[in-house]
């Protein structure tokens, strides 16, 4: 068996600006597992710094190397792997990278595409777009173009002090097209009035306005404003969803498999949320074609009901590390039909953008 970590750096077409910073490349940890004639891939959603969550590429690499890798030796099923690594507290992004590697591996063993292997599927994913902050003209241009391209929902990043200027500007550019905002934790309950001022723009929801691990304050905010609340950072497990439901903290959930320890937890979250009448969609973390394929497989699940942030590869990269990028048609993407995630790695491209590779097993 071989387990390899590739550290890659892939330039973004345009810098992506959120309330927690700007980024002009994607620094990804890509994992490759070779066993019994099968080659599986996955990607950690961590980035260079702990700005979206407390994990980053170095903490993920450390946890994987020191504690998780040894549990991969007999290529367990994903659920078994998760049970074995319970002794490591948190570090769900590190766990997700290997858990998803096992999903790809076992789907390939069965010769089944991952989107079918995970259960009831819609056969395709509804696609929305996440647009970073930029100057007003640029945001009008990008959001109008997204409508033209056929996206089913537009989300724009906001930050404290700029929220109404951004939403007002974009709203006037795209008319009554489905629009949401993502604050990436930039506000507190003291900003209630500013967030209330967004009610008049008819947003489909407001994503993660408050702290990254908060439930209670979001529940209070939900009582004060009309815009529905969507949680992203706060939802790290099905247990958090249970608490969010009980507290009435949100009516929408952004599921990122790479944030919640992988597909096992993602599917449980999606089912629990749908059982309680919440809306679900699949988010992204600027993944390369590898992580993107997982997101699109999950976004095609019958338990997902809303358009996510799973744009085709070309939104982000001039040239991805895969040979078969996704194409969006009429606002939908069909997952790959090959076994597992179905992507074909472009070995030359991967080599070119690889900073270093480490053999873990």
How many other CB atoms are found less than 10 A from the CB of residue 296? 27
Residue from 178, 182, 180, 226 nearest 200 by CA: 226
6: which 2 tokens? 């590739």
285 binds ligand OSB, rule: CB under 6 A: yes
| Nearest residue (CB) to ligand OSB, 139 versus 286 | 286
Site for Mg ion in 187-226 (CB under 5 A): 207
Contact flag: residue 320 with Mg ion (CB under 5 A):
no
Q: Does 182 bind ligand OSB (CB under 6 A)?
A: yes
Token pair of 43, please?
A: 């990607």
Site string for ligand OSB, 296-325 (x = CB under 6 A): -------------x-x--------------
C-alpha pair distances (Å), 43 with each of 98, 209, 229:
8, 27, 28
* Contacting range for ligand OSB; rule: CB under 6 A; set: 86-94, 139-147, 239-247, 284-292: 284-292
Question: Catalytic residue among 152, 155, 256, 315, which?
Answer: 256
Q: Which of Mg ion, ligand OSB, none sits in contact with 163, Cβ below 5 to 8 A by type? A: none
According to the binding rule CB under 6 A, does residue 19 interact with ligand OSB?
A: no
Q: Is residue 157 among the annotated active site residues?
A: yes
**Residue 73 annotated to the active site:** no
Dmax (CA) of the chain: 59
Give 268-318 as a DSSP string.
HHHHHHHHTT-EEEE---S--HHHHHHHHHHHTBTT--S-BS---GGGT-S
Beta strand 38-44 with 279-282 is unpaired
130 binds, among ligand OSB, Mg ion, none (CB under 5 to 8 A by kind): ligand OSB
In the list ligand OSB, Mg ion, none, the entry touching 180 (Cβ below 5 to 8 angstroms by class) is: none
Residues annotated catalytic, as ranges: 157, 256
Contacts to Mg ion by CB under 5 A: 182, 207, 232
């Amino acid at each position: 068996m071989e387990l390899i970590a590739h550290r890659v750096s892939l330039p973004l077409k345009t810098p992506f600006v959120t309330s927690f910073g700007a980024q002009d490349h994607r620094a990804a940890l890509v994992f490759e597992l070779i066993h019994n004639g099968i080659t599986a891939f996955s990607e950690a959603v961590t980035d260079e710094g702990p700005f979206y969550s407390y994990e980053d590429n170095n903490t993920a690499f450390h946890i994987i190397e020191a504690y998780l890798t040894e549990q991969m030796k007999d290529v367990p099923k994903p659920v078994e792997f998760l049970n074995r690594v319970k002794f490591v507290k948190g570090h769900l992004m590190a766990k997700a990278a290997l858990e998803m590697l096992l999903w790809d591996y076992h789907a390939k063993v069965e010769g089944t595409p991952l989107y079918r292997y995970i259960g009831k599927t819609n056969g395709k994913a509804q696609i929305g777009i996440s647009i970073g902050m930029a100057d007003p003209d640029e945001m009008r241009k990008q959001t109008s173009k997204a409508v033209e391209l056929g996206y089913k929902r537009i989300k724009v990043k906001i930050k404290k002090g700029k929220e109404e200027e951004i939403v007002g500007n974009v709203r006037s550019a795209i008319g009554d097209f489905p629009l949401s905002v993502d604050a990436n934790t930039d506000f507190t309950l003291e900003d209630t009035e500013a967030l209330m001022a967004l009610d008049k723009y008819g947003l489909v929801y407001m994503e993660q306005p408050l702290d990254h691990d908060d439930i209670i304050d979001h529940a209070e905010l939900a009582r004060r404003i009309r815009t529905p609340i969507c949680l992203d950072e706060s939802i790290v497990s099905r247990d958090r969803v249970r608490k969010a439901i009980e507290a009435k903290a949100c009516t929408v959930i952004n599921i990122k498999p790479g944030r919640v320890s992988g597909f096992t937890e993602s599917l449980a979250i999606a089912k629990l949320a749908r059982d309680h009448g919440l809306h679900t969609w699949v988010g992204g973390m600027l993944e390369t074609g590898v992580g993107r394929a997982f997101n699109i497989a999950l976004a095609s699940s019958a338990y997902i009901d809303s358009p996510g942030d799973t744009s085709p590869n070309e939104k982000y990269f001039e040239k991805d590390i895969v040979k078969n990028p996704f194409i969006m048609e009429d606002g939908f993407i069909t997952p790959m039909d090959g076994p597992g995630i179905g992507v074909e790695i472009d070995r030359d491209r991967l080599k070119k953008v690889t900073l270093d590779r480490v053999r873990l097993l």
